[in-house]
Structure 1
Amino acid sequence: MKVKKDEKRGTWYFVVEAGKDEKGKRKQIFKRGFKTEAEAKREMRKVAMQVDENTYVKPTKRTLADFFPEWLQSKSLKLRKHTLEVYTGHVNKHIIPKLGRFELIKITTAQIEKFYIDLAKDAQLSPRTILDIHKIVKSAFEAAVKRKYVPHNPVKDAETPKVEKKEMKVWGVLEANQFLKVAKEHRLYPAFLLALTTGMRQSEILGLRWKDIDFENETLSVRQTLSHDGKELTAQTKTKTSTRTISLDQRVLEVLQKHKRNTMKEMLAIRPVYQNNDLVICTGFGTPILPRNLLRTFYNLIKKADVPKIRFHDLRHTVATLMLQEDINPKIVKEILGHSDVRITLDIYSHVLPSVHKETAKKYGNMLFNQSNSSQ
């Protein structure tokens, strides 16, 4: 490690030993063009420390436009098809046009924050969409740090828009029962029954197979999902914890058994043209139900039942809310819903917890003091 003067140019440079490469050849880092010896020494100490800590990044002209296709390709190994399409859309429509020409190593936190402001003003994107884009850019830079393209992640400390939490819309027990009562005669009744008894996602319900239901042990396993466009069945759930086993009520099992018998009759009636995908919820020809068709039926039944209009996904929120109100352990609710962490469950349904805690305190107090009174 040494600093020397370039007599011809009148500037200073330094050399830092950087170990050996994979072939055992000596590696050195040269940096030139410093105006003073002190300036060269400061930079040399900085580089030497980075070499020791294995954080040194060799300068490169690689731009965001160069890096993002590489990153998306690596993410394709983990992400579901729909999620990858969403990521690719944001990258091509918003990230590359605004930031693509800049070198990775020169991107600053301030520049990222200005990018978010521009997305809000010029593109008029919602805070939620900007936050989604922030997560993509942050994840990409984390990968760039791991690959030694940049020394740190400038997105990590960037300020993001505040996303106002929407008031969660859920049904009470009476409303849920009223809806199920009206939906009972519809062919898709088992789909809505599963939604309101298990909290399964729409994609999970539409991907459920008969072989995933264990009638003897009264359980079903979530192992397959249907894509958002209804064109692809995949043995891939939203997250690792989304692959789960859920216990079923005996009354739900009875509905499913009856539905299975009806499905078998449909298959036998048109056997030559029937497409047997082993799906629990399917068309009369055995093909997957398109999500938009399920939603159309759902909203029509809501009107008939004269209950508040909510989204299909809110049936999942309804299940969780009703379970927590019944003082069911949040950890159990987390496992039923397939959340990766109980903190997610507690955060989403924090509005329910004060009343749950109050009721728990009352129940515990009654148990404790009634016991004390009886022993006197």
Structure 2
Amino acid sequence: MKMKVNKDEKNGTYWFVVSAGKDEDGKRRQIKRRGFRTEKEAQKEMRKLLQQVDDNAYIKNTKLKYCDFLENEWLTSKALKVRDSTISNYRHIVKYHVSKYFHNHEIGKITTQMVEKFYGYLANEKRLSERTIQDVHKLLKNSFKMAVKRRYISHNPVEDAEAPKVPRKEMQVWNLEETVRFLKVAESSDLYIAFVLAITTGMRQSEALAVRWKDISLKEKSLHVRQTLSHDGKHLRQETKTKSSYRTITLTDKAVEELTKHRKRIYEEKLRAGSAYQDNDLVICTKLGTPIIPRNLLRVFYSLMKKANVPRIPYHGLRHTMASLMLANGTNPKIVKEILGHSGVKVTLDIYPHVLPTVHKETAKQYGDMLFG
């Protein structure tokens, strides 16, 4: 197509049409601009558009509402990639926070200043915590990033927005003496194996409660993390938190010993229950073979902590305790990262900075002993 500027004889303004290749459906796409006061202005705008097309940087001229984009494109895309609990959290943020504020805003007209004003509204008017606002910030940043890729906007306004800083909570972990004391008291509990696995493998609660016997090789001393249990204890899912969470962990001799004993007990309970037993092949289960409801496990956990007279920590603190003890004992952070299922060593080191001074001192001592005896 020959590109040229045309004059509208009725009102004396200038206009042009530019060919912009083909759209997603293979149809020819044309960009039309009109209403220029002079031919020179029209030519300047036409050259600019042609350069954008050549550089694959052309932005669609759209009046798309940001909330429509979130509902119809971003959430739909995310639903294919993340867990049900995660997408549910995204929908909650969109419905109760984002949509109520940006309900009628066009995606191309939202600025960095508007985003920062939104954060102020969430903090001062809605009284949301810094952590919740940080979650909103991450959602906005990711969704606008997709909008840039899809050519709805040329720049992500959230990139330069000041998000609230979330203060790092002091990590709640046990030292070695407290850990040993708790395990000694927990021996009397039917759920003892849950605590042994938590402290020796660092598995998340949802992972441990979903482990099946077919995921374990007592002979090879290995455990495969392959699925998770939902927070309400009703659904076993063939998925893990992230790709790196799908992993194999080497079991300690003590864990193998306790699993062997536990398997015998499970078999005896199955015989006693008879036809009432629901065989889900679960390692940690009720006397009828059904999954343990997470809140019931927590109830036992809190009771045992009180009996053992150890500091009260969340169940996730068992995972942190294992990692802290391993790092303090000189275990390579890369190994700890693989056991925990983190995406990278940096994630592991960022979570456990409190252990690093001890690790550095021990490393320096070992290196000095090697050099100078």
Q: What's the TM-score, normalizing by structure 1? A: 0.94
Whether 1:230 and 2:233 are equivalent positions in the alignment is: yes
Q: Which stretch shows the higher mean deviation, 69-78 or 111-120?
A: 69-78
Aligned-partner SS, 1:65: helix
- The separation in 2 between residues aligned to 1:108 and 1:42, in whole angstroms, is 26
Deviation per residue, 1:199-224 (Å, 9 max, x gap): 11000001111110101100100001
Whether 1:342 and 2:365 are equivalent positions in the alignment is: no
Give the 3 Å change call, closer, same or farther, for CA 358–9 of structure 1 in structure 2.
farther
- Residue 54 of structure 1 corresponds to 56
Give the 3 Å change call, closer, same or farther, for CA 295–37 of structure 1 in structure 2.
farther
Aligned-partner SS, 2:296: helix
- The separation in 2 between residues aligned to 1:280 and 1:76, in whole angstroms, is 30
Give the 3 Å change call, closer, same or farther, for CA 182–26 of structure 1 in structure 2.
closer
Aligned Cα root-mean-square deviation (Å): 1.8
Q: Is the 8 A contact 2:223 2:251 kept in 1?
A: yes
Displacement of 1:21 in angstroms is 5.3
Q: Which stretch shows the higher mean deviation, 257-266 or 23-32?
A: 23-32
- The separation in 2 between residues aligned to 1:26 and 1:203, in whole angstroms, is 51
Q: Which stretch shows the higher mean deviation, 328-337 or 6-15?
A: 6-15
- Residue 328 of structure 1 corresponds to 331
- Residue 141 of structure 1 corresponds to 144
Letter aligned with residue 10 of structure 2: K
Q: Is the 8 A contact 2:273 2:287 kept in 1?
A: no
- Residue 250 of structure 1 corresponds to 253
- Residue 8 of structure 2 corresponds to 6
Q: What is the 5 A alignment of 1:210-221?
A: 210-221=213-224
Aligned-partner SS, 1:142: helix
Q: Which stretch shows the higher mean deviation, 8-17 or 162-171?
A: 8-17
Q: What is the 5 A alignment of 1:272-351?
A: 272-351=275-354
Q: Identity percentage over the alignment?
A: 59
- Residue 17 of structure 2 corresponds to 15
Give the 3 Å change call, closer, same or farther, for CA 310–41 of structure 1 in structure 2.
farther
Deviation per residue, 1:171-194 (Å, 9 max, x gap): 100000111111111001110111
Q: Among 64, 72, 81, which residue is 2:75 paired with?
A: 72
Displacement of 1:156 in angstroms is 2.1
User: How many residues in Structure 1 have an aligned counterpart in Structure 2?
Assistant: 370
- The separation in 1 between residues aligned to 2:185 and 2:163, in whole angstroms, is 44
Letter aligned with residue 32 of structure 2: F
Deviation per residue, 1:333-355 (Å, 9 max, x gap): 00000001111011111221122
Give the 3 Å change call, closer, same or farther, for CA 231–126 of structure 1 in structure 2.
same
- The separation in 1 between residues aligned to 2:287 and 2:314, in whole angstroms, is 25
Whether 1:353 and 2:356 are equivalent positions in the alignment is: yes
Q: What is the 5 A alignment of 1:86-97?
A: 86-97=89-100
Displacement of 1:167 in angstroms is 1.0
Letter aligned with residue 214 of structure 1: S
Deviation per residue, 1:195-246 (Å, 9 max, x gap): 1111110000011111101011001000010011111101100000101000
- The separation in 2 between residues aligned to 1:39 and 1:164, in whole angstroms, is 52
Q: Which runs of 5+ in 1 are unaligned?
A: 371-376
Q: Which runs of 5+ in 2 are unaligned?
A: none
Q: Which stretch shows the higher mean deviation, 6-15 or 344-353?
A: 6-15
Give the 3 Å change call, closer, same or farther, for CA 36–131 of structure 1 in structure 2.
farther
